[in-house]
Amino acid sequence: MRLPKIKQHQTVVLPVQSISPNPNQPRKNFDEESLRQLAQSIREIGLLQPVIVTRTDQGSYLLIAGERRYRAALLAEQDKIPAIIRQVDKRHSAIIALTENLQREDLTYFEEALAYASLMNDYHFTQMEIAKMVGKQQSTISNKIRLLSLPEEIRDLLTGHHLTERHARALLSLPSPSLQKDVIERIIKEGFNIQQTEKFIASLTAAPEGAEKSPPSQKASSPCKTYLSSLKRVFGSIKKSTSLAEFKETDKGDFIEVRIRIPKDEAKTASVT
């Protein structure tokens, strides 16, 4: 049986089974203990704040905001739930779901980043449009999305051990997933705070002694920086066993020239010089 049409924005009581979860819900993890507590509260005094839904073409309802309340109502075995009906398209329902979670600070930084990426990829929002709708700087949106370049395994380690967004950002400066994994495992093992983490990563990516730095006004491109960091780490190992090794980096405008000199016979070279 099709449900009767209901006036837009009207607060009504709907059968819980007539509501479907929103596939665009940015929040992926819900604390089970918190849900049980809310379910107990709903059993005793009911749900005080309505969920927000939109009517589908099939006559049922799609949840836009309030999934935690919806899940708790299911857990409390409620037959009906108060709801506010809004007629919005999929693009705006995704924005509403994201904004509600941001206002409640319910999202992890990776969930937030994934939500922004989904808005861009699935609904063709620009970073500037998203920034305006959620009240953030465009650079904030961009920096969040950059976190998604970390492999999923690394993201799981970060969230599973309750490490901060600054821990995640520090890992972005490392040139390879294998090194990122080694570093995150060291961070977890040693219990590094963010300052210790940043210092440790800086020591891995620092230029070796004797390397010529590029002029500060001329910045290398991102892939170039990655390759240079890898070369410098390798040279750092060489330098430990061959003290007379030399590393020279010169900015040639369109490219970076790197020269590494490794003496065949350190004792002989030392006596000549």
How many angstroms separate the CA atoms of 69 and 158, rounded?
27
Q: How far apart are CA 33 and CA 69, in angstroms?
A: 13
Rounded Cα distance between 64 and 96, Å, is 7
- 67 is known as an active-site residue: yes
Those residues with Cβ within 8 angstroms of residue 243's Cβ, 6 or more apart along the chain or in another chain: 266
In angstroms, rounded to a whole number, what is the distance separating the alpha carbons of residues 55 and 86?
A: 8
Catalytic residue among 32, 33, 44, 67: 67
| 180-184: long-range contacts, CB 8 A cutoff, minimum separation 24 | 180/150, 180/151, 180/154, 181/151, 181/153, 181/154, 181/157, 184/154, 184/157, 184/158
Closest CA to 168 of 178, 157, 179: 157
Q: Which residues pair with 63 in a beta bridge?
A: 53
Tokens describing residue 174: 């490392």
Positions annotated as catalytic residues are 67
